[in-house]
Structure 1
Amino acid sequence: MASMRGSLGLMGNWAKIGLLLLMLSTMGCNTLKKVGEDELLLTKNSIYVNEEKVSTSEIKGLISQKPNSSVLGYPLRLNLYNLAKENPDSSFQDWLHRKEKREKRLNNLLSQKQVSRLQESFIVKGASEFLERVGEPPVVIDTSLTRKSVERLEAYYNSKGYFNNNGSYEIVEGKRKKRAEVEYNINLNKPYIIDTVQKNITSPELDSIYTHSARRSFVKQGEQFDLDNFTLERERLTTLFRNSGVYNFQESSINYDILRDTIKNADDQLMDVQLNIKKFRSTTDSSDTNAPYRIARLKKINIYADYAINGDSDSLKTLEYDNYTIHYHDKLRYRPKALTDAIFFQKDSIYRDLDRIRTYRQITNLNTFKYPNIEFIADSTQTELISNIYLAAKPKFSLNLNFDVTHSNIQQVGTAFSTSVITRNVFGGAETLNISARGSIGLLSDASLSNETFTSELGGDINITFPRIWFPFNTEKIIPGYMLPQSRLLAGTNFQRNIGLDKQSLNSILSYNWSPTDRLKNNIELLNVEFVRNVNPDNFYNVYRNTFSNLDNIADDFQNDPQFASFYETVDNTTDSLRLNIPEGANEFVRAVLNNEVPVTEDQLDEVNSIAERRRRLTDNNLIFASNFTHTKNSKSGINDNDFYQYRIKLESAGNVLSLMSNIVPYNKNDNGQLLVFGVPFSQYIKSELDYIRHWEIGDSQVIAFRSFFGMAVPYGNSDNIPFVRSYFAGGSNDNRAWNAYELGPGKTSNINDFNEANLKLAFNVEYRFPIAGDVKGALFADAGNIWNVFDNESNPDAIFQGISSLGDIALGTGLGLRYDFTYFVFRLDVGFKTYNPARVGADRWFNEYNIRNAVLNIGINYPF
């Protein structure tokens, strides 16, 4: 083991040396190395519109040539590119023949074939190719591209109504040689205003639809010309017509005539606009060419329940149900209502494209069919439609297997596996049953936590999903089908061995979720029942070592008193040093102190009482009978959208139902007066959370990301604290990265427990993300926050939220990170430094541990927020 550590240390030193050499070489590299004598390196673009500087990302994106990217002002990728040799083959040949006998000696040593291969090796050629690939060639000012940028700027402002604008550019050479900036100047002049909006709509039916919606038009009289508004109006009209019965409306049928006379209207800058909506143009049937658009209704709706592309349609059976015609082979495997509830078309109703989209979404959401195919067949008058919906079933069963290697503060290394069997259409109503099992085994990080070396965990769940709200009352008016309603019923269990106090848990959930829009989601857990049993409570002082150390320090004052001798044991049998034996001695010492049998000070009594309370809390079994509601919104429009916000609001209440039932059914009570259900005191609390995230794209793949979190859980009634599994902690790779998980807080306390938690949390994170080279990205971050106790049985004033003054206990961690983008996920490495530590006093709070030795290394998958 010692030799392995030595090897790892040596490798770490070499890695540091290599990184240092790379940094020194790039910093010392000549930025102008590959810029020609008559060339200028572009260092900056400036855009002035009517002599005012403009820096919006939309305008800057019109510039064809942009300066080389930089990391914190340093052109890293450019200097990496400059490190590459321009002609590595020629350089190698020059080196090889520089001395008369060098080639001969190498041929004798390696062979002629290997010397030839050496020329193609990474050292000779591959390194330069790699540097060119991850680097960036110098951006040299190209006047043809500069003129093109001016043309783009002029075209852009043309589209905004400034038809008489004119642009120019100026190359401004800097004080440093072979470097220059480009200044773009646009003079807008007066914009054109829409004077009148006329229409020419060939279809009377479309004309009527348009007239009723004209007030919502994006193109309005008296407003400045803006080409974007015309695009929005085309999209609006296309959506409007397709949702008003015109199933075959084409956006290409819409165009505008812009009537302007730059001479006549030189002073008032007015223009007329005419909206033209042409007739339908068919690409398949010449008889329909230039046919007017008509409003169509659905005459018949066919559902092919088990469609096969090469199947025999003549042998299909037919079932009429609620104005739908269902076709199937041999036996219908689905209840008719389960199929028709997923279809939003109604017989004799006008066609709406919205219904088509909702039908696609709902059928896909059933997780029973492959992506459906929907076709519409019109009659000769284009006013009646036959809809054919083809459904191809997914396999009845599917099996998933997963295997992972894990690491945590408890396990040095662990392996985890999980498997699940999915059964579709369980009861004929497109229900999905998922039966899963999971297990893990790992090597303990600290053998003193248990007499065993390995940890193990085994669990399983039964989860069934219904594609509707499973409730005694009809909820269709409140939560219609297009919101993709689902009900979920879950029952599971989990067994842990040699992890903490060894836990067994049972949980059951009845939940409902639905999506009013693509970006809004709601979830109600009507019942969330969890029972946690601590199998090995006597292991408490082995697991919570800090707590035991504090207790043992108090007991040291009495270790020589013969009447307490039974509480102690000799450490290692080598000295006279004594400590409390676990668990009997520690428990008896606590009991004796609380019974005033041991003469301790008042502060020591408070400490022992706190330890006893903590032990009771963490070793007692928990019964949580809760309900909660979660509302989330995400404005992100796509995977490449880096300018968005999202928030999550959650409200949870626990124990109220059981408390009300106690008025009907008498409950037993424990010594603390708590009501017992199945011999366990149930938890009673109310909890609320608000999580808000905002991302701003500031150009060149640079993003500023911000997150804020507030959470509070207040115990009452049958509880004076929050169960450990529902409390808050601070620190870790997704929180304050300058502290390890559970190390920060509560309040201004300093690591008083092994796992510090509380019932109030504030957290704020801001991160600047920027590209470095290729798929490697960097980040600078600042994390602030803490946890506190409030409205519970905590007596330590340093851990309790006291109001505005406690905001001074908000910890601040800053740091930097590297990320590698694997497309499907991001591997993240962050280093956090304690910048402001509320556990210290006075000036020592700031930058006292701001060094490499006290830095915290975080490894994570994907971004923290």
Structure 2
Amino acid sequence: MRGSYGLMHYWAKIGLLLLMLTMLGCNTLKKVDDGELLLTKNSIYTDEDKIKDEDIRSLISQKPNSSVLGYPLRLNLYNLAKENPDSSFTDWLHRKEKREKRLNNFLSEKQVNRLRESFVVKGASEFLKRIGEPPSIIDTALTQKTVDRLKAYYNSKGYFNNTGHYTIVQGKRKKRAEIEYRIQLEQPFMLDTIIKNITSPELDSIYNVAASESFVKDGDQFDLAKFNSERERLTALFRNSGVYNFQESSINYDILRDTSKVANDQLMDVQLNVQKPRSIGDSISNVSPYRIHRFEKINIYADYQINGNADSLKSINYEDYTIFYHDELKYKPKALTDAIFFEKDSVYRDLDRIRSYRQITNLNTFRYPNMEFIPDTTQARLISNIYLSPRPKFSLNLDFDITHSNIQRIGTAFSAGVITRNVFGGAETLSINARGSVGLLSDASLSDGEFTSELGGDINITFPRIWLPFSTENVIPYYMLPQSRFLVGTNFQKNIGLDRQSFNSVLSFNWSPDTRLKHNIELLNVEFVRNVNPDNFFNEYRNTYSRLDEVADQFETNPDFASFYDENVDPGQDDDDDLELLIPDGTTAFTDAVLQPGFDIDNDDLATVRSIEERRQRLTENNLIFASNYTFTKNSKLDINDNDFYQFRFKLESAGNLLSLLEDVVPYNKNDNDQLLVFGVPFTQYLKTELDYIKHWELADSKVLAFRSFFGMAVPYGNSESVPFVRSYFAGGSNDNRAWNAYELGPGSTNNINDFNEANLKIALNLEYRFPIAGDVKGAFFADAGNIWNVFDNEDNPDAIFDNFSSLADLALGTGMGLRYDFTYFVFRLDMGFKTYNPAEEWSKRWFRDYNLKNAVFNIGINYPF
């Protein structure tokens, strides 16, 4: 990756140079004519109080040019563009006699005309105009429009007699001015009495039951927004109480007072009107009032075809539902009826209609359904027809990628998947996936060969229900979109590290009480990891090998150790006579000799060798993880455009407890470390918990402040002294602390002692300010804090252990900036992080030691990190 980082440094310098040239070479007033004023600021005052509310400020029709840290970047990019590049090119062409003739003879007249339309002549200016921003010249028409908007807004808040005006305040700098908007509110109107006028007796009774929940109440200040909220509340109330055809337009309010006259009390009466429905071509008086409807019949068309022959359909009756189908019913009736929340003789509820849409879509077997409601107005009964159009029985997915990493110079990855729907007739979905990759190693010393390969696959079946031997419908009803998933998969890695093979199996359940909440239980999560080539450990983990070899250098003259060394020259040392330990025979023999009781070695070196050997055994041993976990997620985000939301995730996982409880029933064998063995492998036992909180605040002008906090801890016990590598934590990388590369940070105040540093306790805090720059290009400033530590395990290095709150001094801090390009479907991200506070340094050198471009860390990512 060194070449990639060098290239990133190069382009970073080029980018900074271009930005400096833009800042130095542009005149902000270049395209502001005499007699015009550039708008620099807007201020709003109501009765001398300055308004900072962004909702109110969004009513301003004309705003100043956008800026990045106070600098009008987009305006100056626009100013770089030529107004008439065609004319400029023509002037240049005719500026010297015979220039046009010589150019025509050299390129041809046709090529010269093409040059006129080229990017160099014309396209560059068009591009700068497109990503730039024209100067915001004060327009009094737009200014008066803003005054009218502000007056209308405060009218909606009960200030019916407000007045407004604007003032243009010229600044000390030429051709620049601010605008002050001033609104005199006067006394607001208050609601005295709410009078209701509901034409339908049934609607009147429904309203009376829930009247206390009204947004519009006696004694409140008039607020049009509350009236709109009340209309929405009443519409939902009526439609969820049997009035399937209720229209929001049937609700209106009459203000029973002349608001243009000022009085001492400023009280007003309001009449709520709920009228009859209006049909096309009919007057309200000729239409029957709204009524509460119940279901008479519910029909389900299981394989609906738009151009199909309805006369040829067959039907069956199942629990008050009638199911129509062609030739043969391919679905179990219960699978269809469980997705429909209407019942015969039940009152219509709009909530049931929405839940039916969600559950049918959740089956992943049908396209978006169509629902029809046919009323019998004389009896207030409904016939519901639900048309289900099946998706294809089989789907095939293919994917192919080119990859690059610090292990592979170049690689190709491919995947293929087959999806089979309605496998057992109950809307189950079966997917079979295969994946693989082939790559060229960046360093042949990592393996016996030059190529790396990976092959894997899984079988995944999803049930649209909780798959247990007892019913859970009373606790988890079907409107919560319950799903069960059973997965079996395996993966084989060749010539990467230790040539790992893994097998995993998962049985999980998930459900969503509403769109914001989700529960997930993995009842069984079994993973078996086998390292095929453990002798390759020191070839893969070079930092660990270098530490061991450094200790071994002092014993290379010992004749008893002569067979441990290779006489190759160590290029990292000045002394050409230094020898290297042989891998694996020399490293194994050396550690065995050093760890024998009574061996003459320095205590610090002995601790280093012992730590290295424990890490080698831990990373080369096979792992059996038999875990269960529960995850709760809450997300307040309304849609993809919502930039003001929070997300909370809690996870609790336990591994090995079930196997430990079975010890009395099925006696296990034990190894030399007194660990219980299952199939000859010691099973892992630990307790793990995670808390993850994300909060976004939407600021002015599409700016967002994003915050994330994470805490995770995995405590080994019983049959384990440490947490498996695959379930431990690491720090650094594009989605973590961006001033460090992945696995480089920690643990604690240690300084990158291993090739892949990991631990069982993690704290991460991230703060990012995101802002638009030009068009789809966005920028960010960020601060990432966090680290990993060891706790309650067999680690004995005090610098890596979290002792108490004083260990929080080892929280690393990285700050930096980033660029993003929004491709609509995804965001490409480039971040540059600087080590601001490095706990691996001495106390006096921790702050800003590596805060320079040379030591910056560049991260490329897809989408935002949080």
Q: TM-score, normalised by structure 1?
A: 0.97
Distance 2:8 2:320 in 1: 74
Q: Deviations over 1:158-182 (max 9, x none)?
A: 1111112211211111110000111
Distance 1:312 1:546 in 2: 73
Structure 1 residue ranges, 4+ long, deviating more than 4 angstroms after superposition: 8-19, 262-265, 284-289, 572-575
Match of 1:84 in 2: 81
Distance 1:376 1:286 in 2: 23
Change (3 A) 1:709 1:9: closer
Match of 1:123 in 2: 120
Task: Please report how far the alpha carbon of residue 751 of structure 1 lies from its aligned counterpart in structure 2 after TM superposition.
Answer: 0.3
1:814 aligns with 2:822: no
Match of 2:518 in 1: 521
Q: Superposed, which structure 2 residues align to 1:398-547 within 5 Å? A: 398-547=395-544
Task: Please report how far the alpha carbon of residue 318 of structure 1 lies from its aligned counterpart in structure 2 after TM superposition.
Answer: 1.1
Q: Superposed, which structure 2 residues align to 1:90-129 within 5 Å? A: 90-129=87-126
Whether contact under 8 Å (2:199, 2:275) holds in the other structure is yes
Distance 1:345 1:414 in 2: 54
Distance 1:9 1:859 in 2: 14
Whether contact under 8 Å (1:282, 1:288) holds in the other structure is no
Task: Please report how far the alpha carbon of residue 260 of structure 1 lies from its aligned counterpart in structure 2 after TM superposition.
Answer: 2.3
Change (3 A) 1:497 1:11: closer
Match of 2:717 in 1: 716
Task: Please report how far the alpha carbon of residue 290 of structure 1 lies from its aligned counterpart in structure 2 after TM superposition.
Answer: 2.3
1:578 aligns with 2:579: yes
Q: Superposed, which structure 2 residues align to 1:415-814 within 5 Å? A: 415-571=412-568, 576-596=577-597, 598-814=599-815
Match of 1:144 in 2: 141
Q: Deviations over 1:301-344 (max 9, x none)?
A: 00111111111111111101100001111111011111110110
Match of 2:350 in 1: 353
Distance 2:600 2:8 in 1: 56
Distance 2:133 2:341 in 1: 53
Q: 1:389 aligns with which of 377, 386, 389?
A: 386
Q: Superposed, which structure 2 residues align to 1:163-242 within 5 Å? A: 163-242=160-239
Whether contact under 8 Å (1:171, 1:180) holds in the other structure is yes
Change (3 A) 1:389 1:10: closer
SS in 2 for 1:429: coil
Q: Deviations over 1:698-751 (max 9, x none)?
A: 111111111110000011111111000000000000000000000000000000
Change (3 A) 1:369 1:11: closer
Matching residue's letter, 2:852: N
Whether contact under 8 Å (1:26, 1:83) holds in the other structure is no
Moved more, 853-862 or 595-604: 595-604
Change (3 A) 1:631 1:284: farther
Change (3 A) 1:418 1:69: same
Whether contact under 8 Å (1:827, 1:862) holds in the other structure is yes
- Structure 1 unpaired stretches of 5+: none
Match of 2:159 in 1: 162
Change (3 A) 1:233 1:443: same
SS in 1 for 2:624: strand
Match of 2:335 in 1: 338
Q: Deviations over 1:20-51 (max 9, x none)?
A: 24531343211001001000000011111221
Match of 1:835 in 2: 836
Q: Deviations over 1:281-308 (max 9, x none)?
A: 1227889942110111000000111111
Match of 1:62 in 2: 59
Q: Deviations over 1:451-488 (max 9, x none)?
A: 21111100000000000000111101110000000000
Matching residue's letter, 1:251: E
SS in 2 for 1:662: helix
Q: 1:273 aligns with which of 250, 270, 274?
A: 270
Distance 2:631 2:83 in 1: 59
Q: Deviations over 1:501-555 (max 9, x none)?
A: 1111000000000000011111000000000000000011111111111111111
Matching residue's letter, 2:466: I
Distance 1:198 1:131 in 2: 60
Matching residue's letter, 1:49: T
Match of 1:293 in 2: 290
Task: Please report how far the alpha carbon of residue 446 of structure 1 lies from its aligned counterpart in structure 2 after TM superposition.
Answer: 2.4
Change (3 A) 1:289 1:471: farther
Q: Deviations over 1:384-432 (max 9, x none)?
A: 0100011111110010001112222222222111110000000000000
Distance 2:125 2:368 in 1: 48
Distance 1:262 1:297 in 2: 44
Moved more, 44-53 or 221-230: 44-53
Matching residue's letter, 1:213: A
Distance 1:252 1:806 in 2: 63
Whether contact under 8 Å (1:377, 1:385) holds in the other structure is yes
Task: Please report how far the alpha carbon of residue 148 of structure 1 lies from its aligned counterpart in structure 2 after TM superposition.
Answer: 0.8
Distance 1:292 1:308 in 2: 36
Moved more, 160-169 or 755-764: 160-169
Task: Please report how far the alpha carbon of residue 596 of structure 1 lies from its aligned counterpart in structure 2 after TM superposition.
Answer: 3.1
Task: Please report how far the alpha carbon of residue 380 of structure 1 lies from its aligned counterpart in structure 2 after TM superposition.
Answer: 3.4
SS in 2 for 1:824: coil
Q: Deviations over 1:581-631 (max 9, x none)?
A: 111111111111111364111111111111111111101100000000011
Distance 1:673 1:430 in 2: 48
SS in 2 for 1:430: coil
Q: Superposed, which structure 2 residues align to 1:242-257 within 5 Å? A: 242-257=239-254
SS in 2 for 1:847: coil
Distance 1:841 1:471 in 2: 57
Match of 1:44 in 2: 41
Distance 2:286 2:623 in 1: 74
Whether contact under 8 Å (1:294, 1:382) holds in the other structure is no
SS in 1 for 2:664: coil
Task: Please report how far the alpha carbon of residue 863 of structure 1 lies from its aligned counterpart in structure 2 after TM superposition.
Answer: 0.6
Whether contact under 8 Å (2:9, 2:854) holds in the other structure is no
Change (3 A) 1:627 1:284: farther
Distance 1:136 1:697 in 2: 23
Task: Please report how far the alpha carbon of residue 774 of structure 1 lies from its aligned counterpart in structure 2 after TM superposition.
Answer: 0.8
Moved more, 209-218 or 84-93: 84-93
Whether contact under 8 Å (1:281, 1:291) holds in the other structure is no
Matching residue's letter, 1:438: R
Whether contact under 8 Å (2:570, 2:579) holds in the other structure is no
Match of 1:132 in 2: 129
Distance 1:557 1:77 in 2: 63
Moved more, 79-88 or 287-296: 287-296
Matching residue's letter, 1:34: K
Q: Deviations over 1:263-282 (max 9, x none)?
A: 77611111101000000112
Whether contact under 8 Å (1:42, 1:179) holds in the other structure is yes
Distance 1:337 1:700 in 2: 52
Report the count of equivalent residues. Answer: 861
Q: 1:380 aligns with which of 366, 373, 377?
A: 377
Whether contact under 8 Å (1:757, 1:787) holds in the other structure is yes
SS in 2 for 1:848: coil
Please tell me the root mean square deviation across aligned C-alpha atoms, in Å: 1.8
Whether contact under 8 Å (2:278, 2:284) holds in the other structure is no
Q: 1:367 aligns with which of 364, 367, 371?
A: 364
